[in-house]
């Protein structure tokens, strides 16, 4: 049966996968995030350790990616994300919502590049090991939330950032 039955989801019906209503379908903007490309990244986001153009996995043999990897590589997974931002504060609501939406392509691209390039760190982990890492990460996050020092990723500081198009990233 394995050779006579095969299902490949290529994401043709995104509205069904995400359960979006007609109003949301009209508003959405689909943004394809390609981890090979650097157009959404800051220079500080790009490091040799997280560059899929040069990374090669010793465990899986994956990488480095070439420019047309999306066309020449068999899909392992497809991930859809809906980002909705609501900031209710008169006078700056639209500006804050646009600024927030502009950050997501960068964050998602950076995260997925890291996930790909760090595959040798997680590929052979068991479910229990992943669960332990998750629990430790949650403890660290709770501790950091109580720490007043800033850390993490900061918003885009491009001078023309607010002129970019507001988008619903899918």
Closest CA to 35 of 78, 65, 79, 73: 65
| H or E element, residue 114 | helix 93-117
- The better pLDDT of the pair 10, 99 is held by 99
Tokens at residue 107, please? 């964050």
> What DSSP state is assigned to residue 49?
G
User: Domain spans of the chain?
Assistant: 14-163
Checking if the pLDDT of 156 tops 80, the result is: no
- Report CA 134 to chain centroid distance, whole Å: 18
This prediction's pTM? 0.74
pLDDT tens by residue, 83-100: 888 888 889 888 888 888
Q: What is the pLDDT of residues 34-87, one digit of tens each?
A: 999 999 999 999 999 999 999 999 999 999 999 999 999 888 777 888 888 888
Per residue in 124-153, pLDDT (tens digit) is 999 999 999 999 999 999 999 888 887 776
Rounded Cα distance, 121 and 111, in Å? 15
What CATH class does 14-163 carry? alpha beta
Contact 52, 116 (CB under 8 A): yes
Q: Is it the case that residue 112 has pLDDT exceeding 90?
A: yes
């Amino acid at each position: 049966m394995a050779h006579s039955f095969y299902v490949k989801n290529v994401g043709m019906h995104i509205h069904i996968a995400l359960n979006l209503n007609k109003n949301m379908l009209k508003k959405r903007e689909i943004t394809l995030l390609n981890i090979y490309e650097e157009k959404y990244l800051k220079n500080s986001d790009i490091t040799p350790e997280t560059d899929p153009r040069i990374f090669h996995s010793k465990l899986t043999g994956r990488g480095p990616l070439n420019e047309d990897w999306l066309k020449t590589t068999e899909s392992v997974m497809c991930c859809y994300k809906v980002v909705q931002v609501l900031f209710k504060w008169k006078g700056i609501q639209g500006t804050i919502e646009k600024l927030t939406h502009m950050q997501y392509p960068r964050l998602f691209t950076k995260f997925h590049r890291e996930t790909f390039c760090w595959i040798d760190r997680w590929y052979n982990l068991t479910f229990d090991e992943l669960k332990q890492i998750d629990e430790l990460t949650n403890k660290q996050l709770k501790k950091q939330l109580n720490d007043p020092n800033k850390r993490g990723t900061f918003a885009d500081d491009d001078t023309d950032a607010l002129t970019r198009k507001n988008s619903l990233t899918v």
